[in-house]
């Protein structure tokens, strides 16, 4: 499975916090140029996994490499090769947009001219040229997020990690971020690892998705592949003029039909893997039996349905986090974004 062209490789990657195993022997691979999604409920271990890959946390077991460099043995090289956009808005409020990007260029030893040219290009790309010299404290949340994406790209990284990049943003800003990421993938071939719990975001943007729950990857594939993994991924709902019970019984034996249910006085619901092909056949069968179809509707399983099928409906309780002496003792709130 491992290949030289992989941008990210993880093998049996594990992270424990005391008795709690946040990431449990996770193995996966992200190809170069791929936009890969880590999808999971709160507390699933997505952020911990991402933090190990970005050298913020040291794995307890297993191994991982990013851009060809081992995250535990060669973290400095990994840091040179990655850009990271964390969940919290972290652009410096007391600096201008330009200064935020320019200072990060210095972290990567970029010369003044290279920083200027790159910052101009990136700020133009994220649509902030006009506001580049304004203090970030005057920016909206969406503008800050776009600025942070520009900041994360200042050194032309090989892999960009984004952790919940659209959380808290209005629909317009979310769309703007999506377009930006699609543009990056299209124009630069950048490898992107996107952590999210927004199904539409994952479905719209990601080439492949790993569903993470309980610290493990429980499913991985393209959105279509994930849907195909769920039996009866298509739902055909029909109302008939005739004996509905009899028709339902007749449909149960039809090829491609996985299940037929009907609530009293409700429509007939047919579950199938390939609804588009099954639907004409069952219409023909009903009409051949002398009845007729008064309405019919094909619903494809959404990624959210797939997600719920894989992860269940149980609400997640995150493990209790021990506060530091200075925070818990003084009754002060814990910092955000943890």
Partner 1 sequence: MRKTWSIMRRDLLKIGRNPLTIFTSVLLPIIYLLIFGNSFQGVLKHLPVVIVSQDNGPFAIRVMEQMQALAAGPRVITITYNSDADTALRDVRNGVYKAALIIPPDFSHDIAEGRIGELGLFTDNVDAISAATLTGLFSQATASIRAGYVTAREPKLDQIVIRPSNLFTTVDYDRSLIPGVIVMALFMGSLTSGVFNWVMDRFMGITECYLVTPPSRWNLAAGVLGSSVLVTSVASVIVLAAGLLMTGGTITGGAPAAAMLVGVIVLGATGILAMTFVILARADNPRVVGASAGFLNVILFFPSGAIYPVESFPTWLRTFAHYNPETHAVSALKSILFKGANFAAVSHDLAFLAVFTAAMLVLASMTVKRTL
Min separation Cβ 57 and partner 1, Å:
6
Own/partner long-range contacts of 315-322 (Cβ < 8 Å, ≥24 apart)? 316/41, 316/42, 316/43, 316/44, 317/43, 318/42, 318/43, 319/17, 319/20, 319/43
Rg (CA), the chain: 25
Q: Which of 15, 46, 51, 227 binds partner 1 (CB under 8 A)?
A: 51
Distances (CA, A) of 199 to 20, 229, 295: 27, 17, 29
Q: Taking CB under 8 A as the criterion, which residues in 237-266 touch partner 1? A: none
Count of residues of this chain found to bind partner 1 when the rule CB under 8 A is applied: 36
| Angle ∠(31,32,37) on CA atoms, nearest 5 | 60
**CA quadruple 102, 108, 112, 118: dihedral positive or negative?**
negative
Q: Cβ closer to partner 1: 23 or 278?
A: 23
84 touching partner 1, by CB under 8 A: yes
Binding range to partner 1, per CB under 8 A, among 180-188, 199-207, 223-231, 330-338: 330-338
76 touching partner 1, by CB under 8 A: yes
79 touching partner 1, by CB under 8 A: yes
Q: Cβ closer to partner 1: 80 or 305?
A: 80
Q: Cβ closer to partner 1: 56 or 230?
A: 56
327 touching partner 1, by CB under 8 A: yes
- Residue 136 to residue 124: CA distance in whole angstroms: 16
Distances (CA, A) of 78 to 105, 162, 222, 263, 276: 16, 16, 27, 57, 46
Min separation Cβ 272 and partner 1, Å:
46
Q: Taking CB under 8 A as the criterion, which residues in 92-111 touch partner 1? A: 92, 104, 107-109
Residues that bind partner 1 (CB under 8 A): 51, 54-58, 75-76, 79-80, 82, 84, 86-88, 90, 92, 104, 107-109, 161, 323-324, 326-337
């Amino acid at each position: 499975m491992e290949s030289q062209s992989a941008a990210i490789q993880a093998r049996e990657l594990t992270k424990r916090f005391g008795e709690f195993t946040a990431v449990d022997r996770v193995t996966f691979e992200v190809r170069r140029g791929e936009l890969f999604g880590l999808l999971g409920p709160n507390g699933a271990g997505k952020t911990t996994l991402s933090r190990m890959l970005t050298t913020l946390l040291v794995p307890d077991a297993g191994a991982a490499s990013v851009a060809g460099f081992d995250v535990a043995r060669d973290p400095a090289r990994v840091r040179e090769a990655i850009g990271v956009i964390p969940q919290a808005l972290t652009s410096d409020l007391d600096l201008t947009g330009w200064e935020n990007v320019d200072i990060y260029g210095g972290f990567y030893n970029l010369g003044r001219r290279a920083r200027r040219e790159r910052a101009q290009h990136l700020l133009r790309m994220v649509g902030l040229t006009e506001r580049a010299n304004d203090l970030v404290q005057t920016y909206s949340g969406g503008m800050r997020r776009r600025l942070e994406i520009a900041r994360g790209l200042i050194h032309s990284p090989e892999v960009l990690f984004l952790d919940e990049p659209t959380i808290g943003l209005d629909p317009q800003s979310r769309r703007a971020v999506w377009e930006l990421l699609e543009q990056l993938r299209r124009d630069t071939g950048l490898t992107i690892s996107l952590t999210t719990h927004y199904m539409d975001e994952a479905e719209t943007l990601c080439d492949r998705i790993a569903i993470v729950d309980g610290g493990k990857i429980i499913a991985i594939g393209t959105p279509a592949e994930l849907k195909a993994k769920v039996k009866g991924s298509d739902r055909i709902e029909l109302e008939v003029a005739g004996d509905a019970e009899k028709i339902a019984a007749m449909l149960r034996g039809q090829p491609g039909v996985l299940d037929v249910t009907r609530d009293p006085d409700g429509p007939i619901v047919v579950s199938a893997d390939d609804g588009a092909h099954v639907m004409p056949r069952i219409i023909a069968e009903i009409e051949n039996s002398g009845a007729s179809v008064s309405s019919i509707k094909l619903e494809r399983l959404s990624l959210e349905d797939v997600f719920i099928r894989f992860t269940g409906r149980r609400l997640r309780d995150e493990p209790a986090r021990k506060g530091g002496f200075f925070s818990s003792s003084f009754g002060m709130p814990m910092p955000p974004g943890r």
